[in-house]
Amino acid sequence: MSSNIIALQNKFLGHGETVYDRLSELYERQGHISDDDISRLAAEHNLPPAHVRSTAKFYDDLSHDTPARRTVSVCNGEACHVAGGRDVEADLAERLGVEPGATNADGVRFQHVTCVGCCGSGPNGMLDDAPVSLATPDAVDRLMASLVGDEPTHLAEPKNAVHLPVEGRPRIVLRHFDRDVVAIDAARAAGIYSGLERAVTSMAPADVIAEVAASGLRGRGGAGFPTGTKLETVATTVPEDGSGRRFVVVNADEGDAGSYIDKELIERDPHTQIEGALLAAYACGAAEAFFYVRSEYPAAKTVLERAVTEAREAGIVGGPAFGSEFTCDVRIVQGRGAYICGEETSLLRSIEGVPALVSIRPPFPAQKGLWGCPTAVQNVETVHNLPWIVANGGEAYDAYGVDRSRGTKALTLNTRVARPGLYEVELGATLREIIFDLAGGMADGEDFKAVQIGGPLGAILGADDLDAPFSFEGLSAVGGILGHGGMVVYSQSDDLAQIARGLMRFCAVESCGRCFPCRIGSVRGTELLDQMLDDGVTDERLELLTDLCETMRYGSLCGLGKMLPDPIESVVERFPEEFGRYRRGTST
């Protein structure tokens, strides 16, 4: 069905142009998409109304069908939750007179957002499309005042701290964070694009792949697949349509609450990001690269757009670059509020303009991806490593790390530690070193209870796991995942049973709906957890929760349904007292 719809879009809109693009343009103009808009777009472009409607309704942003004068969003991610976000949400609901998901009589839409990528300084939210800090005592007062009249009250923008490695420790991902390299002249003065120039003028694509393979770099988006192997697969796979087309897609749809690595890398060092994408394209023979940037990161999108324009004007993007024969164009696609688009096949379907349902694998995107062509899907941090590897050699990168976890890793910490922010560590550092040495231990005199690594799908680890290495193998050995590298620390004040319920609800909201174990299981799981927290925990309900998690783990198509049971079961098994306090007659 998707291939037929894509063919129709190519016929009536032009090759590569999609209904998703048209809907996004309409949403930008008017802030909602009505049923009449859907019918008109379908008729205008000779497309089935059901396709236009299903695409619009799939995405949170595009599904708004009534106008709103203003939109207030409050983050419901775990990092903001433990920073006081629930109290802020309750305060806003009372003042606005509606619960999240509704529009009040004054035309103010109130909704949840997960997340705005400022987890080092929560709680946070958004006013229309701008992130705002809700962390100060008067923040809600100022936000409410900004909704009155035509002159908005100045609202503080949330910021993340950056903690660079000390002298003598490797600094690769954050290598340019000690200076301003946002503009292309400053970027080139700092050596950005020199690796690309060297590659396209004096290295064969296979040589670039060989250096990446020698580095041992594995994908930093979660799965940890060897980057060199992926690039080689794309380079050597013959497209089935005979077109010869190959693509690079940079996944900047960072949606894990507690992680803001992609946001900071793009906003502070956009030209390294472009250089890395172009190096990947040169290595695997791609003439087009796409950046898929989530809508909750408006500043990142603006900075990246400007950088692409500068690189195009310099002849680097759209080339031929540096007098070589290498030419690659770059396009930015904005996400529209669907966490599932962090999964690579869903992301590709979104770029193709159809509902972003998970695709069955194999074939994998490296073999058959965007528009059926070989596609290298890489995350932002992975791409950021490529220029350093080309400039310094794969062996130099491989000199850092532990086991099969080579190099360094960016990580983020939330406000439960004394020094929250963005860090870079050599893979193999222990969780204890990261939390208690680098980040200064717990904030505000709190005691450590747990840490969740890798977003909402990562297991929740306890004090007994603090000596585990921060690496693919080290975290796997204790039942965790490295994932994207976001770390949410919990204190003894935090209720992990409530956190577990929030994670299950998150899955229920964000499931693409393709498979019923995830689609239905997450809804039933949320209902079950609500029963346990409201009416009491029983052995029967705990057993039912275990059975439901098993069904989701073994029956779901993608990581969302397969891995969500990990944090839920880790709370039940590692922290029995968390649900124990909700036993009938014992809840407080």
Please write the tens of the pLDDT for every residue from 465-476.
Answer: 999 999 999 999
pLDDT at 4: 67
Q: How confident is the model at residue 415 (pLDDT cuts 50, 70, 90)?
A: very high
Pick from 362, 378, 398: which residue ends a domain? 398
Is the same domain home to 433 and 377?
no
Is the same domain home to 299 and 415?
no
CA nearest to 135, candidates 120, 151, 121, 147: 121
- Count of C-beta atoms within a 10 Å radius of residue 477: 12
Q: Report the CATH number that the domain containing residue 437 is assigned in CATH.
A: 3.10.20.600
pLDDT, tens digit, for every residue of 208-229? Answer: 999 999 999 999 987 899 999 9
Q: Report the CATH number that the domain containing residue 93 is assigned in CATH.
A: 3.40.30.10
Task: Judge whether 151 lies within some domain.
Answer: no
Domains held by the chain: number: 5
Q: What is the largest CA-CA distance in the chain?
A: 76
Answer yes or no: are the C-beta atoms of 491 and 469 closer than 8 Å.
Answer: no
**Separation between Cα atoms, residue 437 and residue 60, nearest integer Å:** 40
Task: Judge whether 156 lies within some domain.
Answer: no
Is the same domain home to 141 and 272?
no
- Count of C-beta atoms within a 10 Å radius of residue 305: 16
- In 245-368 the beta strands, taken as DSSP E runs, fall at 247-252, 288-293, 329-334
pLDDT, tens digit, for every residue of 64-99? Answer: 999 999 999 999 999 999 999 999 999 999 999 999
Is the same domain home to 28 and 120?
no
- Which amino acid makes up residue 115? C
Answer yes or no: are the C-beta atoms of 217 and 387 closer than 8 Å.
Answer: no
Answer yes or no: are the C-beta atoms of 488 and 431 closer than 8 Å.
Answer: no
**Separation between Cα atoms, residue 357 and residue 349, nearest integer Å:** 7
pLDDT at 223: 81
Pick from 398, 423, 451: which residue ends a domain? 398
> Does the N-terminal peptide bond of residue 515 adopt cis geometry, omega within 30 degrees of 0?
no
Is the same domain home to 247 and 375?
yes
Helix extents (H) in 113-203: 139-146, 184-189, 194-202
Residue 300 belongs to domain spanning: 184-398
- Count of C-beta atoms within a 10 Å radius of residue 107: 13
Task: Judge whether 166 lies within some domain.
Answer: no
Task: Judge whether 8 lies within some domain.
Answer: yes
Tokens matching residue 112: 């949840």
**Separation between Cα atoms, residue 99 and residue 556, nearest integer Å:** 31
Is the same domain home to 51 and 86?
no
Check whether 567 has a pLDDT greater than 70: yes
Is the same domain home to 382 and 416?
no
Is the same domain home to 239 and 328?
yes
Q: Report the CATH number that the domain containing residue 254 is assigned in CATH.
A: 3.40.50.11540
Tokens matching residue 215: 């580095």
Task: Judge whether 74 lies within some domain.
Answer: yes
Residues ≥6 apart with Cβ < 8 Å to 288: 245, 247, 248, 281, 328, 329, 330, 331
CA nearest to 412, candidates 501, 340, 504, 482: 482
Is the same domain home to 230 and 361?
yes
Is the same domain home to 333 and 309?
yes
Backbone angles phi, psi at 375, to 5 degrees: -140, 130
* Per-chain mean pLDDT for the chain: 93
Task: Judge whether 173 lies within some domain.
Answer: no
Is the same domain home to 430 and 531?
no
- Which amino acid makes up residue 200? V
- Which amino acid makes up residue 485? G
CA nearest to 37, candidates 295, 25, 109, 11: 25
By the 10 Å C-beta count (0-12 exposed, 13-18 middle, 19+ buried), 124 is classed as: buried
Distance of CA 566 to the CA centre of its chain: 19
Pick from 398, 428, 458: which residue ends a domain? 398
CA nearest to 325, candidates 192, 201, 194: 201
Is the same domain home to 210 and 354?
yes
pLDDT, tens digit, for every residue of 486-496? Answer: 999 999 999 99
pLDDT, tens digit, for every residue of 353-386? Answer: 888 889 888 899 999 999 999 999 999 999 999 9
Task: Judge whether 459 lies within some domain.
Answer: yes
Distance of CA 63 to the CA centre of its chain: 20
Task: Judge whether 179 lies within some domain.
Answer: no
**H-helix or E-strand spanning residue 404:** none
